[in-house]
A and B are shown apart, each in its own frame.
Chain A
Amino acid sequence: MRYFFNRLGFLILSIWAAITLNFILPRLMPGNPAETIFAKFQGHMQPSQLHAMELQFGFSNKPFILQYFQYLGSLLTGHWGLSYTYYPTSVSQIIVTSLPWTIGLLGIATVISVVVGTLVGILIAWRRGGIADSTLPIATMFFQSMPLFWLGLVLVYFLAFTLNWFPMFHGYSSSVNVGWNWPFISSVIYHGILPAIVVFLGSISGWIIGMRNNMINTLGEDYVVFAEAKGVSNSRLIFMYAARNALLPQVTSLAIALSSIVGGQILVEQVFSYPGIGYQLTNAVSMEDYPLIQGMFLIIALSVLLVNFLVDMLYGRLDPRVRRRGTES
């Protein structure tokens, strides 16, 4: 229970930090960005909406601390402001429509990457020193150390623009009706393949190398050596004896990967104009749409923090040692 409250306290503290950053940054910067926004919005906004903007970006003359609590209050009641680019759509509405795209694309790509990477890691650790073991980690590391948005640009250029195998941008073709019908679904899949490949190539290296190193550690354990001496079959030895215990550290990495799904591939989404959270954020930046920027940052931060909290909870259940240590840190 103490562990739970400890983690809950950290969750609240970090959410508070993210919100406060959002509040302080526009007030800290020289050349008040609020004036830019104000000038843009003036003329085509209701007075009450303008007033809300004033509160959000702090050009009211009220005391600082009062503005702060009003800001917190409006966030809690779901008033995240109005987007300038998509006026009069509210920021929360844009989040609701963008979130499924990001979670769908990156979620699926991450799961494929984890499963394939972990299996490859298990196998190359078993055939240690073989051809696959000496080439695959290096080859995939090359993809991990390149900027993924650039890998996206290259793939778009060669596979989509030159060869015309894949569409160049967007999440679905403009000629289909949005809804649960096959033309739309197949169009979504078709458009998702290329960005998914980019995310897959960029993330698989960590899974392969991580699993390989864990496997090598467990393969050296006494119980595995004993099982081998006892004559346990190879496949049983690999999967039932060694891999099972080597998987645990991978779960930690999976937690980190899951928590960064929403904000993890902002630039890849931008390259493909994929209609997710990251693309909206970069769009908002180029349009100087500050309410949208703030909203996107907040939803990315919230998703990271919440998933982290859930994983901590899960981990406390899986491994009681964590629970005891967690209260100290």
Chain B
Amino acid sequence: MKSLTSNKRKSGNLRLFFRNSKAVIGLVIFSVFVLIAIFAGWIAPYNPQVSQFLPMQPPSLQNLLGTTSTGQDIFSQFVWGTQTTMIVGVGAGLLSTFIGILVGVYAGYKGGWVDSVLNTIANIFLVLPGLALLILIESYVKNTTPYSNGLIIALTGWAWGARVFRAQAMSLAGRDFIIAAKLSGASDLRIIFVEILPNMMSIIAANVMYACLGAILAESGLAYLGLENLSSNSWGTMLYWAQAGGAMLGGAWWWFIPPGLAIALVGMSFALMNFSIDQITNPRLRVRKMKNKASGVRKVESHGRENASA
């Protein structure tokens, strides 16, 4: 009975997601970059590391995005950078969400001293300044690859998700169907994965996007500071070399514009999808004409409260 209604609501939410133009635009932008990442080997015309062209050439048919100060093809660097950055961003986002779920849901569901301990740890990670902590760690760990970078980002950045999941799990833990599951002898793990998690999918989805965006921004920032292995291919490393190679003073806009713009577009696609999920799960935010305001809001009030407490 319960699963039937929740399934119906879920498919309804999916339909709302695809009917929302913002969500669709976000999904399309995201898919384009995913495709570039998957087919990088076919799309990139040259080896991104080999210096085989005239330095600092503006975009041309031969080099679609021009060349670097050492004569590397920027388009090829960009395509391979897409692959690295997408893997690191999405991977770190998923991993940090997963850790957040483990800590947050378990703490919220168990309560008591388990909750106190886990919540305190999460709060400490939450208040420690993220980027400064990353810089501190990476200044000791020399020459990290983009992937180890992503790992460090995920291991330090899970706390925000944990806090959100904990609040949601706490409100779910007292509901009848969880108590019923407990009484019927289901194990903690089963209750968490079968009963609690399916009921917080929209929050998880929103958190994944938020975490991916954060991871991509953090990775590119660290790489831009030169804290990542300098021979790796990522958008952040491209920006580092653009800065170090004098792209600004040489007027080589084609060198530093594409990677940053790509990060902005991927970030935008996450933000757009997130924005739409927000609108779907909080019906009060759906655009409605002012006149219906009073009557319309009342109908969804109970539903809206439920989400607001999340």
Q: Do A and B bind each other?
A: yes
Q: Which of B2-10, B72-80, B259-267 contacts A (4 or more CB under 8 A)?
A: B259-267
Taking CB atoms, residues of chain B closer than 8 Å to A146 are: 260-261, 263-264, 267-268
Taking a contact as CB atoms under 8 Å apart, the answer to whether A281 and B132 are in contact is: yes
Task: Fill in one digit per residue for A185-206: 1 if any B CB lies within 8 Å of its CB, else 0.
Answer: 0000000000000000000000
Beta-carbon contacts under 8 Å, A281-303 to B: 281-282, 285-286, 288, 290, 293-294, 296-297, 300-301
Give the size range of A's interface with the partner. Answer: 35 or more
Q: Whose C-beta in chain A lies nearest to the C-beta of B236?
A: A147
Tell me if B297 and A220 are in contact (CB < 8 A).
yes
Hey, which chain A residues are within 8 Å of B275, CB to CB?
137-138, 141
A295 to B133, CA, bound (A): 12
B287: Cβ under 8 A from any A Cβ: yes
Check A149 against B224 for contact (C-beta < 8 Å): yes
Query: Do B131 and A14 touch across chains, with their CB atoms under 8 A apart?
Result: no
Residues of chain B lying within 8 A (CB to CB) of residue A282 = 135, 225
Once bound together, how far apart are the Cα atoms of A263 and B275, in whole Å? 27
B267 in contact with A25 (CB, 8 Å): no
Q: Give the interface centre of B119, B132, B284, B293 by most chain A CB atoms within 10 Å.
A: B132
Question: Which DSSP category, helix, strand, loop or mixed, fits chain B's interface?
Answer: helix
Binary interface profile of B, 120-135, with partner A (CB < 8 Å = 1, else 0)? 1001100111011101
A128-B290, A146-B263, A216-B285 given; name 5 further pairs at CB < 8 Å: A142-B271, A220-B293, A220-B294, A267-B225, A285-B135
Interface residues of B (CB under 8 A from A): 22, 119-120, 123-124, 127-129, 131-133, 135-137, 139-142, 213, 217, 220-221, 224-227, 239, 243, 248-249, 251, 253, 256-257, 259-261, 263-264, 267-268, 270-272, 275, 282, 284-285, 287-290, 293-294, 297, 304, 308
29 contacts between A and B (CB under 8 A): A13-B120, A14-B123, A14-B124, A14-B128, A17-B124, A128-B288, A137-B275, A138-B22, A141-B275, A142-B268, A145-B264, A146-B260, A146-B261, A146-B264, A147-B217, A147-B220, A147-B224, A150-B263, A153-B239, A153-B260, A157-B256, A217-B284, A220-B284, A259-B127, A281-B132, A285-B225, A290-B139, A297-B129, A301-B133
